Structure 1
Amino acid sequence: MKQILVAILALGVCLSACHSKQNKALNGDPQTFDEFKSLFTPTSLPFKLPADTLALKIADSLALKPAVVKQFLSDSIALHAFAPGVKRRYYPLYAFNSGNKDNLVQCLVLKVTGGNTSRAYLCLADKKGKFLNSAPVGRVTTGEQQTQYFSIDSRGTLRVVTEDLVNSQTTTKEEVYGIGSNGQLNLVMTNSSGPVAPEKAFNPIDTLPRRNKLSGDYTAGNTGIISIRDGHDPKTFLFFISFSKDKGNCTGELNGTGTFTGTNKGEYRDKSSSCGIVFHFSAGSLSIKEEGGCGAYRGVKCFFDGVYVKKAEPKKKK
C-alpha cells in the first residue's frame, strides 16, 4: 500500500511539473525552443496565409514578450519596418517543418503589428532550434491598396504574392523562392500578371518633420527612394531607404537613425549586424554607399549604393 501511495505521489509531482512547464510556455515564458514552438499553432505543408487572415485582430494577451522573441529568434525582426517609437507587438501564428529529416528546417510564422500595419515574417530555425533567418512575407496596412501574402507548397517552395489595386484593376507580382537548409531564401523566378505598378514601400517616417535643410525625399527614378527626416537632436537624422533593381528581382529596405559626421556627411551603424551606410549630401542630391554587410535587408545581388536626386518640396497652399 505504501508503495502505491509513493507511486501516486510521484505521478502527481510529475504531472504538476509538466503542467507548470506548459503554463510557463502558454504564459509567454518558454524555457526551450520546443516550448516556444508550442505557442504557435501546428500545421503542415502545403500552407497559405491569406492577407485577410493576417489582418485579423489578435488579443493583446496572446502577444509574445520582446525578450522571448529575442531569446529564440532575433530582436532585429521588423526593427526597420516601423517608424522609430512605434510600439511593435509580436504574435505567434503557425509552426510547420520544411525539408526532409536530414535537411529539416523548422518554420514559424510570426505576426508583427505597429500603428495601422500588420506584417508576417517567416522565421527559420534548424532541427535543433537554432535561429537561422527571417524574411517579411506578408503585409496589410489600413487604407492602402496594396497587400502581400504567401504560401508554401508540399515541396517547400515559397511564393510571396503582392497585389496592387490600380484604377480598379488588380495587378499581381509573384516571387518564388527555394528554402535552403541554411535558412537562406534563394529567388527562383518572378512572375507578374499585366503591367505591374512599382511596389509601394510603406514609408514609416513619411509624415515626420523635415525642417532641416538636408531633410526631404530623394529618388532614383521609379526604382528607389530615400527619405530623410529630422532627428531627435541636431546631430542625428531619421532615414528610410527602399529600392528595386534588376527589374524587381533584387530589392532592399532599411530605416533607422543616422548620425551626422560632418556638414554634409552622415553614417548609420546597425546594432544587430555589421551593416553600415555612409551618406554624402550635395546640392540637390544624396549618394549612399554600403559598408560591412547589409544582406539581411536586401537581396544577395544588389547593394545599398547609388545617387538619389532630391524632390522639390510641394508648395504650401496659402
Structure 2
Amino acid sequence: MKQILLAIFILGICLSACHTKKAKVLHGDPQTFDEFKSMFTPAAAPFKLPADTLAIKLPDSLALKPATVQRFLNDTIGQHAFAPGVKRHFYPLYYFQTGEKDNIIQYLVLKVSGSGQSLAYLCIASKKGVYLNSLPVGRVSNADQQVQYFSLDSKSTIRVTTEDQVNGQTAQKEEVFAAYPDGRIALILTNSSGPVSPEKAFNPIDTLPRKHKLSGDYAAGSDGVISIRDGKDAKTFLFFISFSKNKGGCTGELNGTGTFTGVNKGEYKDKSSSCGITFRFSAGAVNIKEEGGCGAYRGIKCFFDGVYVKKIKKGSK
C-alpha cells in the first residue's frame, strides 16, 4: 500500500511539473516564491494529511536544499525536534491557499525527516509570498507509538490530531487552531478522549545533554512537566513545556531556546509572535511566567504560569 501511495505522490509531482513553465526548478534553485511553491504538489482546501502519507519514505532526489528552505521559509523549522548533529531532510509535499483578495493565505506542507522520525509543518505565507509562521501538524516515528496528522477546511480552521498508545488503548487529542492572513495561529479548542499525562507526551529534547546545573526535568504534580537541556553555549538553554489544566480541558505545549539573563534567570522570546516566557530558578524548582500573548501554544483559558519542582534523576544520589 505504501508503495502505491509513493507512486501516486511522485506521479502527482511530475504531472504538476509538466503543466508549469517553471518545471525546471524541480532540479534547480528557485528564484521566486512562485517557482518555489511550484515544487509542491497542488492541492485545495478542505485538505487532509493522513499519518500514512507522512510515513512514506521519499527519494533523496525530491529533497529541498537547506539553503532553499532558508531563503523562502526558515531552515530552523524542526530543529528542536532532533538531537544536535542529526541531518534534517526537507521535502515539499503540498501547496494550497484559502481566502480571497486581501485575505488570501498561502500554505505549504513541508516534511522534515531524520533519525527515524518524520514531521510535517504547515507553513504560512502572505498573499505576496512572504513567510510568516509555521505549525507542527504531523509526526510519525520508529521510536514510539505516537502519531499526529491534520486537516484544514476552507475557512482556515486547522485540526491537529495526536494519538498515543497508553496501556494498550488509544488516547486521542484534537487541537483546533485558527489561522489568519497576518500569520497568527491561535489555539481555539482542545478535545480529548482522555488526557494523556505530560509524562507520556512526546518530549523532543528528552535525550539531549543536561550537564548544566539547572538542566533537568521539573514537574508540577501530574499535570505539568518542563524539561531544561543544555544550549549550544553557556548563555543559552533548550526547554520543553507541556501542561494540562482543568482536568484536561486546557492544555499547552511549547519548546524553544532560552537565554540566561542572570545566574538563576532566563527568558524566551518567540520570533513569530509576541509570546515570551520568563524563568526564575531557585533551590530545586523553576517558576515560569508568561509574558505577552502565547495563545498559539495553549488554550484560551489557561496560561504557562506555574512553579515546577525539579525531579531527581534516576540513578543519582
2:254 partner letter: E
1:174 partner letter: E
Write out per-residue CA displacement over residues 180-214 of structure 1, whole angstroms, 9 at most, x where no aligned residue.
Answer: 23333343433333x23236443233233434443
Partner of 2:117: 117
Partner of 2:254: 253
**Cα distance change, pair 100–265 in 1 and its aligned pair in 2 (3 A):** closer
Report how far residue 125 of structure 1 moved.
Answer: 1.7
**Cα distance change, pair 288–64 in 1 and its aligned pair in 2 (3 A):** same
**Cα distance change, pair 68–304 in 1 and its aligned pair in 2 (3 A):** farther
Partner of 1:8: none
1:241 aligns with 2:240: yes
DSSP 3-state at the match of 1:214? coil
2:288 partner letter: I
**Cα distance change, pair 187–241 in 1 and its aligned pair in 2 (3 A):** closer
1:120 partner letter: A
Report how far residue 215 of structure 1 moved.
Answer: 2.8
State TM-score, norm by structure 1.
0.79
Report how far residue 154 of structure 1 moved.
Answer: 4.3
DSSP 3-state at the match of 2:69? helix
Unaligned runs of 5+ in 2: 1-19
Report how far residue 123 of structure 1 moved.
Answer: 1.1
Write out per-residue CA displacement over residues 219-276 of structure 1, whole angstroms, 9 at most, x where no aligned residue.
Answer: 122333222334566x3464322223553544231133644732x3445566787766
**Cα distance change, pair 86–257 in 1 and its aligned pair in 2 (3 A):** farther
Write out per-residue CA displacement over residues 2-53 of structure 1, whole angstroms, 9 at most, x where no aligned residue.
Answer: xxxxxxxxxxxxxxxx97x542x21251111110110000112222111121
State TM-score, norm by structure 2.
0.79
**Cα distance change, pair 201–171 in 1 and its aligned pair in 2 (3 A):** closer
Distance 1:285 1:126 in 2: 42
Distance 2:313 2:83 in 1: 21
1:53-68 equivalence runs, <5 A: 53-68=53-68
Partner of 2:153: 153
Report percent identity of matched pairs: 59
**Cα distance change, pair 260–155 in 1 and its aligned pair in 2 (3 A):** closer
Distance 1:145 1:314 in 2: 24
More moved, 201-210 vs 269-278 = 269-278
8 Å Cα contact 1:252/1:297 also seen in 2: no
1:219 partner letter: A
DSSP 3-state at the match of 1:80? helix
1:35 aligns with 2:26: no
**Cα distance change, pair 315–55 in 1 and its aligned pair in 2 (3 A):** same
DSSP 3-state at the match of 2:53? helix
Partner of 1:10: none
1:51-130 equivalence runs, <5 A: 51-130=51-130
1:280 aligns with 2:280: yes
More moved, 65-74 vs 32-41 = 65-74
8 Å Cα contact 1:217/1:227 also seen in 2: yes
DSSP 3-state at the match of 2:93? strand
1:175 aligns with 2:158: no
**Cα distance change, pair 78–265 in 1 and its aligned pair in 2 (3 A):** same
Distance 1:269 1:188 in 2: 22
8 Å Cα contact 2:185/2:296 also seen in 1: no
8 Å Cα contact 2:80/2:205 also seen in 1: no
DSSP 3-state at the match of 2:79? coil
Based on CA coordinates, which of the two structures has the bigger radius of gyration? 1
Partner of 1:219: 219
More moved, 167-176 vs 203-212 = 203-212
8 Å Cα contact 1:259/1:268 also seen in 2: no
1:65 partner letter: K
1:106 partner letter: Q
Q: What is the alpha-carbon root mean square deviation over aligned residues?
A: 3.1
Report how far residue 285 of structure 1 moved.
Answer: 0.8
Partner of 2:139: 139
**Cα distance change, pair 31–143 in 1 and its aligned pair in 2 (3 A):** same
Report how far residue 91 of structure 1 moved.
Answer: 0.9
8 Å Cα contact 1:268/1:277 also seen in 2: yes
Distance 2:273 2:98 in 1: 27
